[in-house]
Amino acid sequence: MLLEPDVKFIKEIESLGGDTLKKCFQCATCSVACPISPDNKPFPRKEMIAASWGLKDRVVKNADIWLCHNCGDCSTLCPRGAKPGDVLAALRMYAIKEYAFPKKLGEMVSDPSKLPILLAIPFIIFLIVGMVCNMFVDPNWLCFSPGGDEIVHSHFFNSWLVDLIFVPLSLCVVAVFARGGYQFLNDIHQNAVLEGKTDKKELDLLGIAQAFPKVVLKILKHEKFDQCGENQSRSTPHMLVLFGFIGLFIVTSIFFVVLYGFQTHGPYSQFNPVKWLANISGIALVMGGLVMLKERISQDTSKQISTYKDWSLIGLVLALGLSGLLTEMTRLGELAALSYGLYYIHLVFVFCLFAYLPFSKLAHLFYRTLAMTYSEYANRQ
């Protein structure tokens, strides 16, 4: 194999939190220590040398970096302080950027100085689209003085306006993922064949689809997380946040169907079971986010570090949950102006969640699931 190390790639991985990368001296303690690494061609030793040699394609187009759940057992036991856990996390961030489109947006998402711009984008889009719609469709789609006895958020920010923005946005996100996902699957398969990690010759999408339910079950049960030694406590907050998101996704879907199917508008009564689910999910999201925050703040940086992408995701989770719950509470407390303002902010965060999903750390939801599904399909145990 012709080696053409990419020095720029190494420097970038180092800047993404993998600055210990070159310390590796190939003792393979990490591969032995890892509780979830497969026996055949175990990670992360081979990823460590390939990364320290700047062999970008080998590590970025590689399912194994996604099988890692960043338990940190390897980093704790590494005799050289090379922190393979952090290096693999950095590689995943690099891979997210690599598969996302447009790349420019990806760079902005990973740059803390661009955060105000990213937040300003939805803020301004809402205003512009709202004004335009007010002018040409209905003057009350974005109404700054809804009035009325009851606080109804759709009187301020019309549901049509919400969907006008969010439905196309979701489609865009799906398209970006579809594009990246297809490329990703092909790449990791090629890599698996090259490195002898699979017995499958051709990539069979049907086979992958069949493996999917099994993997989803594993993910929901947090099986891999529970095998971790060093960082097992992460399992619970992750579960809270994941189930929170799932709950809210279900609630939103029900809203959508009820709105368009039965023409029933919110807000729902507090006694409605859907509302119960919404409230529980919102609280789970905030609780999970807070525990994650606490753990990240108190963690031993000699074992594991937190990067901007870690902080920004926790921030987003908390912002989403808190702004949503506060919107609801202020609504119930009949603080109209505050509630409408919070709703606007909440929508801004929801936009961020959707729009920046393929570029943020949250994209692991997609790539890790895909990689785990592929590995299930490829008999990589």
Partner 1 sequence: MDKKFGFYICSGCGIGEAVNTEWIMDNVPKEEGYSNCTVHPFLCSKEGVDIINQDIKEKGVNTIVIGACSRRVNYDVFKFSGCILERVNLREQVVWSHARPEGWTMPEEVNEDEPDHLQMMAEDYFRMGMVRCEKVSLPVPYKLDAKSDKILIIGGGITGMQAALDASKAGYASTIIEKDGQLGGYAAKVRKQLPIQAPYDQLISPIVQQKIKAVESDSNISIKTSTVVARIAGQPGDFTVTLKAPGEKIEFDVPDPVPPEMRVDEKGKDLEKEKLDEIYKKINEGKADILKLDPNGEKFGAVILTAGWRPYEPAKDEFSHLGYGAIKDVVTNTAFEAIAKNGKIVRPSDGKEAKSVVFIQSPGQGKDDDFSYCGSVTSMVTLKQAKYVREDYSDDGKAFVFYQHMRTPGLSENFYKAMQQDPGIFMSKGDITSVTQDGDSLMVEAKDTLLGESVQVKADMVVLATGMVPVTHDDPVVNLAYRQGPGFRDIGLFDDYVDSNFICFPYETQRTGIYAAGAIRRSLTMEESMEDATGATLKAIQCLKSVDRGEAVHPRAGDQTFPDFFFQRCTQCKRCTEECPFGALDDDEKGTPKPNPTRCRRCGTCMGACPERIINFADYSIDSIGSMVKCIKVPSEDDFDEPPLRILVFLCENDAYPAMDMAGMNRMQWHHDVRFIPVRCLGSVNTIWIKDALSQGMDGVLYIGCKHGDDYQCHFVKGSELAEIRKSKISDALASLALEEERVAMFEIAIDEYDKLPKIINTFMEEVEALGPNPFKGF
Alpha helices by DSSP H, listed for 23-114, are 29-33, 45-52, 56-60, 64-67, 73-77, 84-99, 103-109
Q: Which stretch binds partner 1 (CB under 8 A): 4-12, 99-107, 295-303, 364-372?
A: 4-12
Nearer to partner 1, 50 or 313 (CB): 50
Q: Return the residues of window 154-213 that contact partner 1 according to CB under 8 A.
A: none
User: By C-alpha distance, which of 188, 194, 192, 177 is closest to 60?
Assistant: 188
Residue 4 as a binder of partner 1 (CB under 8 A): the answer is yes
Q: Say whether residue 3 binds partner 1 (CB under 8 A).
A: yes
How distant is the alpha carbon of residue 14 from its chain centre?
A: 22
**Nearest distance from residue 23's CB to partner 1, in Å?**
7
Q: For residue 115, give the H/E element and its range.
A: helix 115-136
The two structure tokens encoding residue 322: 């808190």
Among 1, 39, 262, 298, binds partner 1 (CB under 8 A): 1
Touching partner 1, residues 35-64 (CB under 8 A):
46, 49-50, 52-54
CA nearest to 24, candidates 80, 63, 71: 80
Please state the separation of Cα 9 from the chain's center in Å. Answer: 23
Q: How big is the site for partner 1, counted in residues (CB under 8 A)? A: 19
Residue with tokens 């790449």: 187
| Spatial distance between the Cα atoms of 191 and 30, rounded to a whole number of angstroms | 21
Among 5-13, 309-317, 338-346, 356-364, the segment contacting partner 1 (CB under 8 A): 5-13
Nearest 5°: CA angle at 92, between 90 and 97?
A: 100
Smaller CB separation from partner 1, 25 or 260 = 25
- Which residues in the 244-283 window bind partner 1 by CB under 8 A? none
CB of 188 to partner 1, least distance (A): 19
The smaller minimum CB distance to partner 1, of residues 59 and 100, is found at 59
Of the residues 5, 139, 213, 333, which one makes contact with partner 1 according to CB under 8 A? 5
Beta carbon nearer to partner 1, 18 or 358 = 18
Torsions phi, psi for 142 (to 5 deg): -125, 95
Q: With respect to partner 1, which residue has the nearer C-beta, 23 or 179?
A: 23
In whole angstroms, how close is the CB of 160 to partner 1 at the nearest point?
A: 53
User: What's the rounded Cα separation, in Å, for the pair 96 and 108?
Assistant: 13
CB of 79 to partner 1, least distance (A): 12
Residue 150 sits in the site that holds partner 1 (CB under 8 A):
no
- x/- map, 10-29, partner 1, by CB under 8 A: xx--x-------xx-xx---
- Tell the residue number behind the tokens 């004004």, with chain if given: 131
CB of 22 to partner 1, least distance (A): 5
Smallest gap from Cβ 301 to partner 1, in A, equals 18
| Cα distance between residue 108 and residue 369, in whole Å | 25
Task: Tell me which amino acid residue 185 is.
Answer: L
Q: By C-beta, is 53 or 123 nearer to partner 1?
A: 53
The distance of closest approach from Cβ of residue 49 to partner 1 in the complex, given in angstroms and rounded to an integer, is 6
Q: How far is Cα 299 from Cα 275, in angstroms, rounded to an integer?
A: 36
Residue type, 90: A
Closer CB to partner 1, residue 51 or residue 291? 51
Q: Taking the complex as a whole, how short is the minimal distance between the CB of residue 60 and partner 1, in angstroms?
A: 16
Residues 6+ apart with CB under 8 A from 176: 100, 101, 358
Least distance to partner 1, CB of residue 374, Å: 22
| CB 47 within 8 Å of CB 87 | yes
Which residues have C-beta within 8 Å of that of residue 306, sequence separation ≥ 6?
296, 299
C-beta of 57 vs 295, nearer to partner 1:
57
| Residue 79 or 102 having the CB closest to partner 1 | 79
- Compute the least distance from the CB of residue 11 to partner 1, in Å: 5
Omega before residue 5 within 30° of 0, cis: no
* Distant-in-sequence, close-in-space partners of 335: CB < 8 Å, separation ≥ 6: none
- Toward partner 1, which CB reaches closer, 13 or 314? 13
Q: How far is the C-alpha of 224 from the C-alpha of 235, rounded, in Å?
A: 9
Binding site for partner 1 (CB under 8 A): 1-5, 7, 10-11, 14, 22-23, 25-26, 46, 49-50, 52-54
